[in-house]
A = this chain, B = another copy of it.
Amino acid sequence: MNLILKGSICYSKSLRELATLEGGYIVCEGGVSRGVFREVPEKYSTFSVADYGESVIIPGLVDLHLHAPQYSYRGLGMDLELLDWLSTHTFPEESRYAELDYADKAYSAFVDNLKRGSTTRAGVFATIHAPATLLLMEKLEHSGLVTLVGKVNMDRNSPDFLREASAQSAYEATRAWIEQSLGKFRNTAPIISPRFVPTCTGELMRGLGELQKEFGLPVQSHLSENRGEIAWVKELHPRAEFYGEVYDSYGLFGGDGVPTIMAHCVWSHGAEEALLRENGVYIAHCPQSNTNLASGIAPIRRFLEGGQRVGLGTDVAGGCHTSIFRAMTDAIQCSKLRWRLVEQNDAPLTVPEAFYLGTIGGGSFFGKVGSFEDGYEFDAVVIDDSPLAATNPLPLEDRLARIIYLSNDSQIRAKYVRGKKV
């Protein structure tokens, strides 16, 4: 785990500050970055150097929100909105993961794709099926990526073929799955994953809150994605002032050291927005999914200025694409349309800002992750951008912009996670 990479290095120092260095060296000691240097410091002179020449080296990208069983049907049903899309495509497909043979085939394709891409860390939803979820965790562990994986919970408002029989049995199955998976892997760990409020009874959410406390696990779910969904939550929980308060009432909404990711937050505002911030909940911004399902555009500029924690998610298969580079450009593009058409006080996101969101923004959910500064875990992606070559030499910041807008997985030369080449 001691090594040095040489190349054209790009990483974020803060939301607005992009650091670039051509022909620079990143030192990795014991899986942790010791920083970026123009020359190799004397004390690291014994470390071996992998020289990637002109290739661009960036921190590994972080996908805060995606659904492994939905990879199989990405690009389908895109003419529907959220709730119709769930019942027409998502639920029937997810029910197939009751069969381990099917899960084996489909999850293999998913993990192969994730490994080939530029993502090094991810928050992943599986299905309600514990055996298939364990299988997915084994495959992800084998990939070398760092992931949090959730057996999904749903015990109401779901079709018979994809519903846990009762809150009690869901609790027991989830508990057993946690006991089987927690501590079993080096890079893969369980995360509490109620699908969303409409599909989870209060009794089940209470049980999940207890499991969270008992095992000290992180939490992931969905929040305020679509106006129809929000109205439905209001019907189901008329006494809750806002959607997020329902999760919060069961200890599933951050605060008290409960690391929590809420995907979407397209329509979060007022008291919900305040509680997200107060509780340090991570917002997984999934712009392509929010576009494909006609949900809307999350107010990311306002969130950032308000001090929210924000990362990016592909939300496969609400989003069709598994690349966080695509999520960066989608985030920029959506922010421009929101600025032009909805709220002229919220300036568009810039390329350096979107790059920050896809690296440190989501990476910080996993600890010191998403940068090459001293002390960060060493996740890196090496990209050969020569197929994108311009007719004139470009500064490194412009080369990075072109990689973000134009590159594809075939241009990835190498990928390192926690100092290990994967």
Contact = CB atoms under 8 A, between A and B. Distances in A.
A295 B340 contact: yes
Interface stretch (A238-246, A252-260, A329-337): A329-337
Given A79-B350, A105-B391, A391-B109, A291 B406 contact: no
Nearest to A404: B75
Nearest to A339: B294
20 contacts: A72-B390, A72-B391, A73-B390, A75-B401, A75-B402, A76-B394, A76-B398, A78-B351, A79-B351, A102-B391, A288-B333, A291-B337, A292-B336, A296-B340, A296-B341, A297-B341, A320-B405, A334-B337, A341-B341, A408-B408
Interface in A288-326: 288, 291-292, 294-297, 320-321
A83 interface: no
B79 A348 contact: yes
Contact of A75 (B288, B337, B405): B405
Interface of A: 72-76, 78-79, 102, 105-106, 109, 288, 291-292, 294-297, 320-321, 329, 332-334, 336-342, 348, 350-351, 388, 390-392, 394, 398, 401-402, 404-406, 408, 410
A333 B291 contact: yes
Contacts of A102: 391
Contacts of A296: 337, 340-341
Contacts of A75: 388, 401-402, 404-406
Q: Top 7 nearest A-B pairs by Cβ distance?
A: A75-B405, A294-B336, A75-B402, A291-B333, A72-B391, A320-B405, A106-B391
